[in-house]
Amino acid sequence: MTSFEEPTSCIESIEMMKEVIRVSIYQICYLRSLFPEGAFCEQIYADMKVKYLASKKESTDNAVKDALALRLWVEEGAFVALEKEYLEKIDFCIYGVRENLKPDKLLERYTFKLSSIRNGVMMTTNFTERSFDTSNPYTVKSQAIALIRSLISITNVLQALPNNRVLTMKLQYNGEYNHSCPPNWQPKYFKQSTLDLRGDFEKPSLTLDVGQIVSQFHTMSMKLEAPEEVFNVVEKALTQESLNEEIVDAGISSVSGDVTPSTALHDERAAAPESTQENTSTSQLTSESGPRSQSVIELASMKEGIMKYCTQFESVELNKIQEHFGIDKHILSKLLDEWSAEKVFHRKSTVPDTYLVGAYQGVYYWKAIKFIHGNLRRSISASTLSKHLHCSVFFAKSILLRMEHENLIDMSVPPSYNGYPVRYDEATCQVIQNATQKINAPRKMGNSTPTTSNITHVSSSREPIIQASQTSKKRRLSVKAA
């Protein structure tokens, strides 16, 4: 749906999300030189000239065959799961190759996270970003343009890939809503994921928020993670100002409506650890002038306060939160619904306007205690915890906030380089023992309470694409208005 009229149905919204994912993956393939020039063609998307993988189905060229295989992963694998409302996350990964042509270390990971919007509402939960007004007919289009341009700007500064590499795709499914994925379901060209492909980077990595798309029915966010050394942005920061200049040079002003480059690209902050990013973002915001910067700070403070307040309880009621903070009920409902997509909350279907707090569901909280206190860590950040638990940063932060309420960590002071200080006292040994017992305790059958430990399963592409002796030539792409 390249016209980008505001989707009026769930089906139209799914088609829009599919096109954004399709275009994003094709730009990655082109800019990272994964396939030769002949495998691509130029098309118009949202008033921009972009690269598409050509639909050549018969060829003796191995590169063209590999390009077709990738198209099938997307079109007949990931998109089938999306249409069934099973799909929660796509990881498009590039690995190095060992001498035996087996996958080696993870080089780059491009993640697309999707969720359905319940009751037609959604609100951004990034503490430094604005909310999206989905009533504006140009909003979805401008978000898509900003995401694609941000992706191109970032990948333009990445170092070239090695000549030998492996391409894979992983799909993560939901198991929580009415359209939950059956536990043994697999789409075409995919199989149950195994541990033969490592999900962690060998060296310190950076994660950049590329952008977010929000319609009336779905939301999709995109992230890029790679080792620090492959980012030229580490040595020469890709600032928001330079990104603005690229967008102006590319002719973005010809597009109707206000287009803002993705605020999720945190320029120099991307090179800083998560524990220092909050302080950095606050100092940058306070340096701006005008009432807008003040309102952004107030919004961030409000969201932080709401999450901290809610993590005191196993469940919360919308009306009580509203009374405590004096916030419009509609806005508050939007916020809680998006946090629900991040597993921070779970809407309680049996009681209206009531949410279960995710930090109290399942065993993730106890696993976090075992990871932090059991290993005698001196500090912990939400980013580190999210990687260990394989959960979102927002959910990890809610766990840390519960720990603060229970005097296990100290969040009363600004985080250090490595995160918040961990508290140890006489009760710590008993806390670790309780955590171990909770983790090892047998599960009760028939428990209908949603938990973060039983809601997903993951597929990986059945046959990874192995590319040996491929070109390492860097490509650059300057997207201009059609």
Taking a C-beta distance cutoff of 8 angstroms, is the pair 178, 118 a contact? no
Specify the pTM.
0.58
How far apart CA 409 and CA 411 sit, in angstroms, is: 6
Pair 358, 345: CB distance under 8 Å: yes
User: Which pLDDT score, from 0 to 100, does residue 70 have?
Assistant: 95
pLDDT of residue 340: 87
Task: Indicate the SS3 state at residue 250.
Answer: coil
- Reference 130, options 325, 235, 285; nearest CA is 285
CATH 1.10.10.10 intervals, the chain: 362-448
Name 173's bridge partners: 87, 457
**What is the CATH code of the structural domain delimited by 10-273+458-467?**
3.30.900.10
CATH architecture of the domain with residue range 362-448: Orthogonal Bundle (1.10)
Mean pLDDT of successive 10-residue stretches along the chain, which has 482 residues: 62 90 96 91 88 76 89 95 92 87 86 75 34 52 90 88 92 68 89 74 81 87 87 46 41 34 36 41 39 56 88 93 88 86 86 90 87 86 86 90 91 82 78 70 44 58 84 69 57
Can you give the C-alpha Rg of the chain in angstroms? Answer: 22
Of 113, 137, 199, 132, which is closest to residue 8 (Cα–Cα)? 137
pLDDT of 335 reads 87
Nearest in space to 316 (alpha carbons), one of 361, 262, 257:
361
Q: Cite the residue boundaries of each domain of the chain with CATH code 3.30.900.10.
A: 10-273+458-467
Which contacts of 258-262 are long-range, i.e. CB under 8 A and separated by 24 or more positions?
A: 258/138, 258/142, 259/142, 259/145, 259/146, 260/142, 260/146, 261/146, 261/149, 261/150, 262/146, 262/147, 262/149, 262/150, 262/209, 262/210, 262/211, 262/212
Given a contact cutoff of 8 angstroms between Cβ atoms, the answer to whether 416 and 275 are in contact is yes
Which pLDDT does position 179 carry in this prediction? 55
Burial of residue 272 (number of CB atoms within 10 Å: 0-12, 13-18, 19+): middle
Contact 221, 124 (CB under 8 A): no
Q: What is the pLDDT of residue 174?
A: 80
pLDDT at 64: 85
- Minimal CA–CA distance to 110: which of 228, 190, 226? 226
